[in-house]
Every structure is written in structure tokens, then in C-alpha cells.
Amino acid sequence: MCSRLFIFSNVGASFRRFDTVTRNKARTCKGMGELIGSCYVDVTGAVVSEKSPLSAAVDRLVASHTLHGSESLCKILRYLARRAQEQPGVQVKEYQIATEVFGRQADFDPQLDAFVRVHAGRLRAKLSEYYGSEGASDRLVVELPKGSYALTLHERAVASGGNGATADSTIAVGRASTPVGKQPLVLVLSAALITALLLLIGWLVANRKDPNAVSREPAAAAPAAFRVFWDGFAREDQEPWVIFSNAAFVGRPDTGMRYFDASKDRNARILDYYTGVGEVLAVHNLDLVFGVLQRSVRVKRGSLFSLDDAKNNDLIFIGSPSENLTLLEVPSTTEFVFKRIEKGVRAGNVAIVNVHPQGNEAPEFLATPSNVPLTEDYAVVALEKGLNPQHSELILAGTTTLGTQAAVEYVTRENYLNDLLHGLNVSKASELKPFEAVIRVKVARGVPVESSMVALRLPKS
């Protein structure tokens, strides 16, 4: 299967461009060609046969504004479309979606993890939104009925030219279908019997228990730790801003870039649309968690941040003040402070200064020197009150981009989040107060593999 894969470039070995360019014709397929629905495309891009109606409808959905940025939902949609065409009539299981689409482990238990059901509920909502807005004129409608993971494709009901009745047909995916208006009359029922049947069906639908239905409660299917920690940010009335760092660079991507230096780069053109790989993956992880909570976030790069954002919204900062300069304009950490080293062999590196060391804590936390492969980093996870005390700020920042990625993972993975809540002695959302913490991050081959909390400061009573 030829799936949509987002590949972000790296400049040198340190920087990643966050901007995603969608190229509808960019497909990388294995072998001599690939079957996409019923459209076989060879290596030259020539179409050997026509796409099926379902494939075409799914392509329109994936390219739509409604599903833009919803990569997880697009993956489910394409997977279910392929299954509907290759194995029509065969029910898809939650377990299959979890393991084959999202790579969950073999011990995944749908009874304990509602991940798939939540995403299916979001997909149904997006389908309804699309066909009620930009897809209002589409002749064919894709649906995912509740209680099932079998996609259906039917023709939108339209008034016929003769007697004013409406025609509505479901297209059997993968099989020849009877044209609309030419289907045989199988059974004629009296008006009274039809009414009785409709009433009976309505009663059954209203009273049945749908095992795949997503609860209307904001975070009913989410792990308890998510509901406790993210309650203040996952409100119905407002989406938080995620502000990711994009440091100022000078130079050219093709010949080399470096951090902007005010002392010698005053006349140089500044590039402020690049960010680290950790920030990219951090935004993705936050989007997944808010999806489980049936909420969403808004994303903005640091250079576009304004104080109005700080006054009127909850904020999640990704990246340290050394790159996310907007953190210098709002309340930030006071116990663990980021500082760039100016002299010595570590000049240019960033350290986390421990303002008031306690016990055996180090006075500062430093990652592996930048001239050797990174094996250890440190990051700050902090919850602060905002400029407007009615709003909160969450700061997730490492001394390197991988530390930043680990900081976000620390509050988006259930096992880490349970450790944090235990350290804070918090079991209910109402108990969560401002705090500052430092985590140590072990790195292997450019990937954070393990994190642990090494220092914690709670609000003074």
C-alpha cells in the first residue's frame, strides 16, 4: 500500500524544517508499481486503469481542508478503504487497526485502551463536517457507521425528475452495483407496516449499546493520568496555543547555516522558519494526546507569537528560551533557568542552572558536549501561571532539541505522567498547582530512550 508519509528535511545534522509541503503527485512506491484502490500506477506515473469510486472519494477527503493535518485519521481512512475493496464484507477489528495502522504492540487490548474508538469517533465527526461544508456538492458520500469499521459509499440523496421522490443508493465496494433508479422492486409493504418498522428500528437504535461509540464526555476514554494533568488545557471553550521554537539563523540551507549573532550579523538576512526535529515530533505527540482527549490545539511558531496570545490563552511552550525567545517576554521558570555558556570548552552550549540546589543536586545540568555524539540531555517541565492569572503556561524545553522532545514525551506518555503526578502528590485535576521539574534524558542514536526526574520544586505554601 502506498501511504502518505511526511518526511522532513534536515540541514546538516542539526536542523529540521517544520514547514510541510504537500505534493499530490509525490508517491514513493515499491517495485514496478502499486495498486492504489483499483488504480494501478507504474513508475512513470501512467494510469493503467481507472480509480474506483471509493478511492477517488477517499483521495478528495485526504486532500481536503477538513482533514488537513489529521494524519492519524487519514491513515485510518486509507486503511479502511483498502480493506473494503480487497475484502468486501469482512469486518475489520479494533486490534487490526491498532497494530497494522498505528504499530501498537501485539499485547494491545481494545478493552483497556480506547485509542482506536476515539480516533474512529473523530473520523466520523470529520466526515460529517466535510460533507456539510466543502464536500456539500460531492455526489458520493463516504461514511463510517457507528458500531462498525466498514466504510460505506453511497450516492447523496437527490430529487428525481419525475414524481419528486428521492433516490439514495449504497454502492457495494468491490462489487458491481446496480445503477441508481434501476434497482429491482423486491418487496412492497403497506404504509402502516413501513411506519411500524421505522418505529421499531428507531427504538432499537436508541436503546442499543454501541461498543464502538465515543463518549460525549470530553476525556472519558482517556487514561486517568491524561485527564488529571491536561484538564486545565483541554477545556471545551478554548484551544491552547502550542508555541514551538524557531531560532534565528543566518546563511543558506545549501551552503550552511548558523545561529544569528547580533554582534556580527546585523545586516544578514535572518531565517526564522526552521526548528529542531524534537520540536516537530513534540507537536505531533501533543496532537495525539489532545485527540485522545477529544480536543485540539492551535500551533504557532515562536517568531509570530504576540503578547495578546499570552493574555488571552493557555500556552504550551516547546523549546528553551535560548531558541524560543518568546519565553523571555512572559513568566518563566525561576528555580531552573536556562543559560548559554559564554566561555571555556563548553562555550555556546546551554545549561540549566539550579538556582537553589537541594541535597545532592548539581548546581547546573549539562548535556553531552556538542563535539561528541549526544548520549545525555536535560530538560525542564514546568507549569506556571500566565500573564493573565486565569490562564496557564506549560514549558517543555531541553538544552537540545532531543531534550525538548523528551520533555513533551514526559507529559504525553502515561507511564512518565504517572511518575510526575506521583512526585507532585496529585491524584485530581483540582490538586495540580504550578511546579518546576528537571528530567535527565538518555539518548541513543539520536533518539530519547529513557527519562527520569532528578529535581522538583513545588509552590511555596
Instruction: Tell me the C-alpha distance between 213 and 281, whole Å.
Output: 29
- The answer to whether position 10 is within a domain reads no
Q: What is the mean pLDDT of residues 336-350?
A: 88
- The answer to whether position 35 is within a domain reads yes
Percentage with pLDDT > 90 across the chain: 28
Instruction: Tell me the C-alpha distance between 250 and 271, whole Å.
Output: 6
β-partners of residue 40 are 35
Instruction: Tell me the C-alpha distance between 170 and 248, whole Å.
Output: 54
- Sequence-ordered strand ranges (E) for 75-210: 140-143, 152-155, 158-159, 166-167, 170-171
- The answer to whether position 204 is within a domain reads no
State if pTM tops 0.75: no
The mean of the pLDDT values for the chain is: 76
Other CB atoms within a 10 A radius of the CB of residue 420 amount to 19
**Res. 394: pLDDT tops 80:** yes
- The answer to whether position 6 is within a domain reads no
3-state secondary structure of 124: helix
Residue range(s) defining the domain that contains residue 298: 224-457
Q: What is the mean pLDDT of residues 139-160?
A: 80
Res 325: pLDDT:
65
Question: What is the β-pairing status of strands 241-244 and 298-301?
Answer: parallel
Angle between the N-to-C axes of helices 53-62 and 71-86, in degrees from 0 to 180, rounded to the nearest 10: 180
Res 410: pLDDT:
96
Is there a single domain that holds both residue 310 and residue 445? yes
Alpha-carbon distances of 417 from 218, 407, 408, 459, rounded to whole Å: 19, 11, 10, 19
Is there a single domain that holds both residue 172 and residue 233? no
Is there a single domain that holds both residue 323 and residue 237? yes
What band does 211 get if pLDDT is binned at 50, 70 and 90?
very low
Is there a single domain that holds both residue 85 and residue 170? yes
User: How does pLDDT run across 150-201, given as a tens digit for each residue?
Assistant: 888 888 765 444 444 444 444 445 433 333 333 443 333 344 444 455 555 4
What band does 358 get if pLDDT is binned at 50, 70 and 90?
very high
What band does 147 get if pLDDT is binned at 50, 70 and 90?
confident
Is there a single domain that holds both residue 56 and residue 136? yes
Is there a single domain that holds both residue 262 and residue 113? no
Is there a single domain that holds both residue 369 and residue 429? yes
Is there a single domain that holds both residue 239 and residue 96? no
Residue 388 or residue 18, greater confidence: 388
User: How does pLDDT run across 38-63, given as a tens digit for each residue?
Assistant: 333 333 333 334 568 888 888 899 88
Q: Please state the domain count of the chain.
A: 2
Res 200: pLDDT:
52
Is there a single domain that holds both residue 419 and residue 277? yes
Res 302: pLDDT:
82
User: How does pLDDT run across 269-316, given as a tens digit for each residue?
Assistant: 888 778 888 999 999 999 999 988 888 898 988 878 777 777 888 999
Is there a single domain that holds both residue 59 and residue 134? yes
- The answer to whether position 123 is within a domain reads yes
Which amino acid is located at 68 in the chain?
H
What band does 28 get if pLDDT is binned at 50, 70 and 90?
very low
Tell me which of 142, 176, 210 is where a domain ends.
Answer: 176
Is there a single domain that holds both residue 281 and residue 422? yes
- The answer to whether position 249 is within a domain reads yes
Tell me which of 176, 208, 235 is where a domain ends.
Answer: 176
What backbone phi and psi angles, to 5 degrees, belong to 422? -65, -45
Return the ∠ at Cα 129 (arms to 99 and 86), rounded to 5°: 40
**Res. 418: pLDDT tops 90:** yes
Residues 6+ apart with CB under 8 A from 351: 338, 339, 340, 341, 364, 365, 366, 399
Query: Grid coordinates 491524584 are at which residue?
Result: 427
Please list, residue by residue across 425-447, b when 16 or more beta carbons sit within 10 angstroms of its beta carbon and e when fewer do: ebeeeeebeebbbbbbbebeeee
**Res. 3: pLDDT tops 80:** no
- The answer to whether position 181 is within a domain reads no
Res 155: pLDDT:
84
Alpha-carbon distances of 70 from 21, 64, 65, 217, rounded to whole Å: 15, 10, 10, 21
Is there a single domain that holds both residue 126 and residue 247? no
Res 202: pLDDT:
54
- The answer to whether position 7 is within a domain reads no
| DSSP letter for each residue of 43-88 | TT--B-SPPPHHHHHHHHHHTSSTTTT-HHHHHHHHHHHHHHHHST
